[in-house]
Structure 1
């Protein structure tokens, strides 16, 4: 069975890689540095992206660096994954289908001492890949309209180092340092009356952000956790070309002109979570996060950044009646994720809601598993100048566990 799982997982991941040529993304990635990625480590996508209070005892939990204090001794953990998304975009006048493959993450973790652990992870932070055609928008202080056509690509990457330390058996604390870097390419055409203005812009970003966290075991079945992501300034610079076309005459206003632009500000974020295990091998996770986007004092031409609230709840279950039976070791999972979004467009919040189910298929008698999850969600709404997204997402990842530095009992 273990070889079948390994072959199946490798085949699916390679198939998804070949599918990546059809990449596309949300039209809401037009804002800021793009649409932000969810966490897809281990079982997390199956339980509604909850898990602030889960220890890294069987997988790498990137939601809380303090979880690394519970890494098992002599174990080396490796996690890699990807996800495929099929989305239906609906506006008041038309419907469009798009497919999307996204690399999810690459990470490894290992214990430093019997009470501490370290991890390194690389993952996308945001995606600014979008395509918008002939979007009708009102001119400010006017009864007239203009039409926007825009395409974008790129986004930010997140390369982070995390360390967690456990005091005794109950309290663990940790910290992460994240390097955010990348660029976006943005082409926009504005049709105003009989004149077209074209703007080609490439923007480069780089910056650092810190996270601290803690977990406390109240008893053997109940753990609470908390995280605090520090506000950060992401430096930005751009190269821009601007042209206008009127009466078939092309006028170049700027040509590859470098300049500084307003830096991008990440908000402070506060999260709390609970993990509760019940006697019948059922575990519940419950998270709440608050992102203080209002404090960044940022706005976009087409919308504003507003404070965001996110709620997530998840459940996992495994029979574990007979550990020699494969299906008794399989873990089943389900979750719900609700957030009111950090964007407000035309006075309307871009809400997001999703449900998820998943399986964790064990490989050998270690912590190695192949995780697969399915999510269905809705983002935005159908109204004037807004788009509703209905998406189906399949997340796949391999969580591999190796045992190091053990002496052989028989020479």
Structure 2
């Protein structure tokens, strides 16, 4: 049944959408779900910019930033151990040619730790890679339910990486990620008799794909003082193409739906023979990704930069996920952002030590439906609030944006994201000195 869908959004004359998993986006129907942003709240508050890095914040997008120069506070002997955890809330207004609906979702974003080791730096953590969460209903010409679509799950990423300081200005790094998770979707096809009454039994198709695989990410970063006050930062990351193994199951059930509660009662189930079609175990291609960026600023005062990312999404392929009238094309994005600190060392005013961030981004997601490219735009703002000692801080960011279009009977998402994180620092390793 999934395979014969022309496209969910062609026949969406009515929407019934609730919060699901880590996303409520109907576009998570495609592939292995909506791609989650790999980065901290600090990055997201600057339009997704990941060029900038300092000694007190984690950078999850470039493993070269796991290391860096020792800081004066620690007698130039070491750097702080950095810990970061983040979560977000999304509120969506979904618009179609026939009307609009609202949806929301709350999700864990990342948990990561960065440990200094001389010229090396070790980073590891856990974060979601993709997320699936939708509940859609289409109506027939008579205004009755024709199909109901549900999906949940997603892919998670556990990573470990190492950065190395080659010179005072140049550092490199690499991380290895183990991707794991599952994608589940359900389709119910409603059947009516000649009088237009719902028949007693309906048909439900259940699909599940358990995914796993490894991929690597390489990074390089360069920093240099152009003048006594002006600093240049430039970085690049590259993720080669990799594969995921997808173990797939599919079943068809005869069900009865309670008209009052909506509860589904299964009468019998038949498992599809995916082995005969070679679909029980398939390989999914994760496309390569290249990102380059640069910026300038005054240390502990301000920074402004830009970043371009290209992803070879047209290589994404897995027969079990193929859906008619939807394809993947190469994706790209551009981000601009920065921050400003009124007075980093102020003792008289707390708000002068607050970091004020802003940025915006344009993104071609790589998804194409009915020959319509799905694009995304976002503008973001945020603050870094100093807490405790050793430069620890709480970060709050908001983002307003838009994804998709109402052309070709598709859906346009107008979203608001609230992002919150803690960035904590401590000194674990200290040389003992004796007089």
What is the CA–CA distance in structure 2 between the aligned matches of 1:27 and 1:202, rounded to whole Å? Answer: 18
Choose the corresponding residue for 2:314, options 287, 291, 294: 294
Query: Which has the larger Rg?
Result: 2
What is the CA–CA distance in structure 2 between the aligned matches of 1:320 and 1:201, rounded to whole Å? Answer: 56
What is the CA–CA distance in structure 1 between the aligned matches of 2:431 and 2:299, rounded to whole Å? Answer: 35
Q: What displacement does 1:323 show? A: 2.5
Q: What displacement does 1:55 show? A: 2.8
Per-residue displacement from partner, 1:372-404 (whole Å, max 9, x unpaired)?
Answer: 001001000112331010111100000000012
SS of 1:32's partner is: coil
> Given the two structures, how large is their TM-score scaled by the length of structure 1?
0.85
> Given the two structures, how large is their TM-score scaled by the length of structure 2?
0.80
1:219 and 2:225 are equivalent in the alignment: yes
After superposition, the Cα gap between the structure-2 partners of 1:236 and 1:22, relative to the gap in structure 1 and judged at 3 Å, is: closer
1:335 and 2:339 are equivalent in the alignment: no
**How many residues of Structure 1 are paired with residues of Structure 2 in the alignment?**
379
Where does 1:7-156 land on structure 2 (aligned, <5 Å)?
24-51=23-50, 53-70=51-68, 72=70, 73-113=78-118, 115-134=119-138, 147-156=146-155
1:230 and 2:254 are equivalent in the alignment: no
Q: Do the aligned partners of 2:21 and 2:131 also contact (CA within 8 Å) in 1?
A: no
Deviates more, 1:312-321 or 1:202-211: 312-321
Choose the corresponding residue for 1:403, options 406, 420, 427: 427
What is the CA–CA distance in structure 1 between the aligned matches of 2:124 and 2:272, rounded to whole Å? Answer: 37
Deviates more, 1:288-297 or 1:278-287: 278-287
- The residue number in structure 2 matching 1:303 is 326
- The residue number in structure 1 matching 2:16 is none
Q: Do the aligned partners of 2:300 and 2:344 also contact (CA within 8 Å) in 1?
A: no
Q: Do the aligned partners of 1:46 and 1:356 also contact (CA within 8 Å) in 2?
A: yes
Q: Do the aligned partners of 1:91 and 1:382 also contact (CA within 8 Å) in 2?
A: yes
Q: What displacement does 1:302 show? A: 4.3
Q: Do the aligned partners of 2:39 and 2:60 also contact (CA within 8 Å) in 1?
A: no
Q: Cα RMSD between the aligned structures?
A: 2.8
Q: What displacement does 1:297 show? A: 5.0
Unaligned runs of 5+ in 1: 1-19, 138-145
What is the CA–CA distance in structure 1 between the aligned matches of 2:139 and 2:307, rounded to whole Å? Answer: 37
Unaligned runs of 5+ in 2: 1-18, 71-77, 194-198, 256-265
- The residue number in structure 1 matching 2:167 is 168
What is the CA–CA distance in structure 1 between the aligned matches of 2:344 and 2:175, rounded to whole Å? Answer: 38
Per-residue displacement from partner, 1:171-196 (whole Å, max 9, x unpaired)?
Answer: 11100101100011110134589796
After superposition, the Cα gap between the structure-2 partners of 1:410 and 1:393, relative to the gap in structure 1 and judged at 3 Å, is: farther
After superposition, the Cα gap between the structure-2 partners of 1:383 and 1:323, relative to the gap in structure 1 and judged at 3 Å, is: same
Per-residue displacement from partner, 1:192-243 (whole Å, max 9, x unpaired)?
Answer: 8979652101110000011101011243500111110111111001122124
User: Which structure has the highest helix share of the two?
Assistant: 1
